[in-house]
Structure 1
Amino acid sequence: MTTRRPAATARTPQKTSMSAACVNNQSTARRSSPWRRRPRGSSVSAGCTLVRSLPRECPSVISKFLMEVCVPSDIGESWQRVVSWLREYAPVSHRALGDAASEEEIAAGEEKTGVRFPEDLRAYLKVNNGTVTRLDESNGLTGSCPEGEFLSGGWALLPLSSIERLHHQMMPGPREDQGCWRKEWIPFAAESYECGEMYGFFIDAGTGSVGQWSDGDVETLDLFPDLPEFFASVLEDLERILGPEEASQRIQDGCVTPH
């Protein structure tokens, strides 16, 4: 399936949130994050569960050391909270997390896109390379699978292969409006492959902020100040599943799915 590039027609951007679903292709107002980022250098708890290459019986003191050394504290803690929630409440979705990407794999992705990834994105990919994908035999492309579509609206985090593919698709051709997509925008999450990946989130390699693209619309810039705040919003959406308020998602057979 091919992602159509956003049209150049402008309209006033509005703040959106993770709750945009492919069934209605609409965005809702962003909710404030339930917790704030800790100052850099603060401790990271329960770190061993984030480093997938470590054995399950790895001593927590060693795993905590590796987490603090290998992953910046802000992105490490914010993503660890999401991983821990999935492990406890949605084990099938947790198993859909990709393995850690190597430095060589990340460097190859940067070479293909022609952009140096922001440090937050690089650090996160070195823990989990998006979510697992499945092959579309009709065109040979790989896309998200239901188990990994645990973001609100049934969206999924993209592995490097999908990041490279979508970045290439979104780049304007020589005769197209060069202002509709910037080279430094790196897509890292999108609606499900079956829905066409017409909507998604990108991180600006220049500023580190997170924006949103939508088919036929102007991109929304600076939706989140950075990737840790984005993952804080993801956690907020997941925690709402267990709360008393009506949520847009539910847990079914160990998997997070749209309600």
Structure 2
Amino acid sequence: MNVNDSWQCIERWLHENASASYASLPHPAHELTVEAAEDSCGLVFPRDLVISLRRHDGSGAFVLPGNYVLFTVNEIVTMYAECCAAEPGVPEESRYWRSVWLPIAGNGAGNYLFLDMTQGLGRGRVGTHWHGDGGELGSEPYFASLSALLDEAARGLSDGAAEDWITYLPKVDDDNFLVWEDPDAQMDETVVTWNMSDFQRRPDGL
């Protein structure tokens, strides 16, 4: 599926099953706003990112498997500037966040998804920046691009599981927000819950 096809499937599923997440989907970003963001970052955004932003400026309360929220145009610009300015004077190859990584989503726990903007055939690949550990590019097919990532999310909703994501299962909470659950998480000592009504992630009991 292309970006718009994936969004159409996601929208349809949310409308039928998770009304609060559906209602939270943002309006499209204006073309000039996207162009201004590219100028601010000094980067030409991959086409699939532009198409996604022109359909929805971020994802509101809709979350990808792993409970990642897509950033708005302004959040992308702000996050990119902050990340690139974090280590002045440090060589590019030694930086915790590299200037060729464009942040596109966060999970509220300090982990981010980014697009690799390195010129070449791999441009636009999705990577994960782990809190405290740094970034790495994914080798799985759904990390090939944002388009592939949205396709995987759409198919995960349709099939009832995103098998390649540690088998995340789509669930709808009591407030009609979509959340993705890891069925093995109950084995952990700390159970994590997502309060989608205020976008807060917190350990139970704290």
How does the TM-score come out when normalised to structure 1? 0.57
- Aligned partners of 2:89, 2:27: CA distance in 1, in Å? 39
C-alpha distance 177-214 of structure 1, shift in aligned 2 (>3 A): farther
Letter in structure 1 aligned against 2:171:
R
Name the counterpart of 2:113: 201
Write the distance in 1 (CA, Å) between the matches of 2:71 and 2:83. Answer: 15
Aligned: 1:100 with 2:13: no
Q: 1:119 to 1:247 in 2, by over 3 A?
A: closer
- TM-score (norm: length of structure 2): 0.70
Is 1:154 aligned with 2:67? Answer: yes
| Greater relative contact order, per chain length (Cα 8 Å cut-off, separation 6+) | 1
Counterpart code for 1:191: N
Q: Distance in 2 between matches of 1:155 and 1:226?
A: 15
| 1:219 partner SS | strand
Aligned 1:185-224 pairs, distance under 5 A: 185-192=101-108, 195=109, 198-205=110-117, 206=119, 207-223=123-139, 224=143
CA contact (8 A) 1:93 1:256 kept: yes
Give the alignment partner of residue 225 of structure 1, picking from 141, 144, 164: 144
Unaligned stretches of 5+ in structure 1?
1-36, 38-73, 133-147
Q: Which residue of 2 aligns with 1:91?
A: 19
Aligned position for 2:194: none
Please tell me whether Structure 1 or Structure 2 has the larger radius of gyration of its CA atoms. Answer: 1
Write the deviation string for residues 89-110 of structure 1: whole angstroms up to 9, x where unpaired.
1121011111101111001111
Shift of the 89–167 alpha-carbon distance from structure 1 to 2, 3 Å rule, reads same
Superposition pairs of residues 101-250 of structure 1, within 5 angstroms: 101-132=29-60, 148-171=61-84, 172-179=86-93, 180=95, 181-192=97-108, 195=109, 198-205=110-117, 206=119, 207-223=123-139, 224-239=143-158, 241=160, 247-250=168-171
Deviation readout 1:154-190 (Å, 9 max, x if unpaired)? 3211111211121112214322342233323211111
Number of residue-to-residue matches in the alignment: 166
Structure 2 residues not aligned, in runs of 5+: 182-206
User: 1:83: Cα distance to partner?
Assistant: 2.1
Deviations 1:181-238 (A, max 9, x none): 332321111112xx3xx11111123412111111222422144111221112222443
Letter aligned with residue 179 of structure 2 = T
Tell me the SS of whatever aligns to 2:105.
Answer: strand
Q: Is the 8 A contact 1:240 1:247 kept in 2?
A: no
1:165 maps to amino acid: T
Q: Give SS of 1:254's match.
A: coil
* Aligned alpha-carbon RMSD (Å): 2.4
1:50-85 CA distance string (max 9 Å, x none) = xxxxxxxxxxxxxxxxxxxxxxxx222123222222
Question: In percent, how many aligned pairs have the same letter?
Answer: 25
- Distance in structure 1 (CA, Å) of the matches to 2:63 and 2:124: 23
